[in-house]
Amino acid sequence: MEALLCSTTLQLKSLYHRHHRSLSSPFSPSTHTVTTHRKLRKSSCQKVQPSLFVPLRVSANSQAAPASTEASTSSSVPSTMKAWVYGDYGGVDVLKFESSVSVPEVKDDQVLIKVAAAALNPVDFKRRLGKFKATDSPLPTVPGYDVAGVVVKVGSQVKGLKEGDEVYGDIHEKALDGPKQSGSLAEYTAVEEKLLALKPKSLDFAQAAGLPLAIETAYEGLEKSGFSAGKSILVLGGAGGVGSLVVQLAKHVFAASRVAATSSTGKLELLKSLGADLAIDYTKENFEDLPEKFDVVYDTVGQCDRAVKAVKEGGSVVVLTGAVTPPGFRFVVTSNGSVLTKLNPYLESGKVKPVVDSKGPFPFSKVVEAFSYLETNRATGKVVISPIP
Ligand SMILES: NC(=O)c1ccc[n+]([C@@H]2O[C@H](COP(=O)([O-])OP(=O)(O)OC[C@H]3O[C@@H](n4cnc5c(N)ncnc54)[C@H](OP(=O)(O)O)[C@@H]3O)[C@@H](O)[C@H]2O)c1
């Protein structure tokens, strides 16, 4: 065992020194720690992200080392934190739980959030798989777009938030274009004030964490399609993270005349409870064969070629993923705290409800399981990570 640890330590040390000069990383090398026997042994046979590690005494207990339980005020924010990290693109096995990652610096327009809950989105695993390499930030990455938590530090230009505020938001302004290296699957995350809103008081952190990216996408797509009161809509994938919110926003915020949505058999009742007038079982019916046509078809599944057959002449087809067939149009969500603020009254009153998948919330230690579940493409509503830690 000693020999194994020793050789691993040397390997890490040399890797660290080799890469440290060239890597610009938010993960402070001075605080990187390899703290468990298990982790060290793993790192001897897997590709190690050197900037995350400093060879250390291996008897230390990683759970006890970081100051993760310190009070949530700026004076007691620790310099390192626990976080999920990947240093290579790939499957769920690239995700590593690290005990000593640098807490991100707070820019003038940002606040530091003590993360209480986070949520996963398909963009998290698509990004991890390297699908957006060309526009991604450099590795290593702490994944996670959605966050809910408490402000513990404010930048000098922050006007509307203060320490102690309970907030939520999607921390990456442009989902695919230069998302931050340090995401929300961590004890702390730094976020621009404009991307956040005060958390609705009626929601707990886990419920709030599941909303930002999905509800902002739902809202932006409806707006871009020109959706308005009295119009009809068909939502493809009505039980998913985005779809479950498109159904609710269309019905309860935009005052749709009629909402139809697709799902598999077991989720039809959910669609109705969210406000769908017509729940279509896609395992039994082809929505494009229905005589009824819609002002807007909102495709969250990647079925644009079929979606265009279900829209009225002159209507709109919103596309989130997959190939686009005219007149369909695709957009990529822009994070925007003012959308959350605008929708907060509907969330406070319960007219619009977060849908948290009942397999979760997954504790912080089970992020790999949560990703694996999301990647089945069968999640109902949102896959939430809570509590952290
Ligand atoms: N462009 C953007 O800005 C943007 C923003 C957000 C999301 N997206 C993309 O939009 C897609 C959906 O995101 P999401 O967060 O809603 O995903 P999600 O929650 O993981 O979607 C899972 C849901 O999709 C449903 N589904 C799967 N195949 C279906 C089918 N053939 N017909 C109807 N429903 C089906 C599943 O229901 P069943 O179990 O009943 O099949 C499940 O409930 C992803 O590809 C994501 O990357 C894009």
Ligand 1 centroid, distance to 239 Cα (angstroms): 8
Neighbours of 31 (CB within 10 A): 18
Point out the ligand 1 atom lying closest to the alpha carbon of residue 121.
15
Instruction: Give the residue, by CA position, lying nearest to ligand 1 atom 33.
Output: 237
CATH homologous superfamily of 213-330? NAD(P)-binding Rossmann-like Domain (3.40.50.720)
Q: Is 243 in the pocket of ligand 1 (CB under 6 A)?
A: yes
Tell me the H-state helices in 104-149: 122-128
Pocket test for ligand 1, best of 129, 174, 242, 355 (most atoms within 8 A of CB): 242
CATH homologous superfamily of 103-211+359-385? Medium-chain alcohol dehydrogenases, catalytic domain (3.90.180.10)
Summarize pLDDT for 200-230 with one digit per residue, the tens.
999 999 999 999 999 999 999 999 999 999 9
Point out the ligand 1 atom lying closest to the alpha carbon of residue 320.
1
**In percent, how much of the chain has pLDDT > 90?**
80
Q: Is 25 in the pocket of ligand 1 (CB under 6 A)?
A: no
Token reading at 92: 């769920």
Nearest to 49 by CA among 79, 103, 78, 11: 11
Summarize pLDDT for 302-322 with one digit per residue, the tens.
999 999 999 999 999 999 999
For Cα atoms 387, 357, 165, give the angle at the middle one, nearest 5 degrees.
40
Summarize pLDDT for 30-64 with one digit per residue, the tens.
322 222 223 323 333 233 333 332 221 112 223 32
Pocket test for ligand 1, best of 300, 372, 384 (most atoms within 8 A of CB): 300
Give me the residue spans of the domains in the chain: 103-211+359-385, 213-330
For Cα atoms 216, 174, 192, give the angle at the middle one, nearest 5 degrees.
85
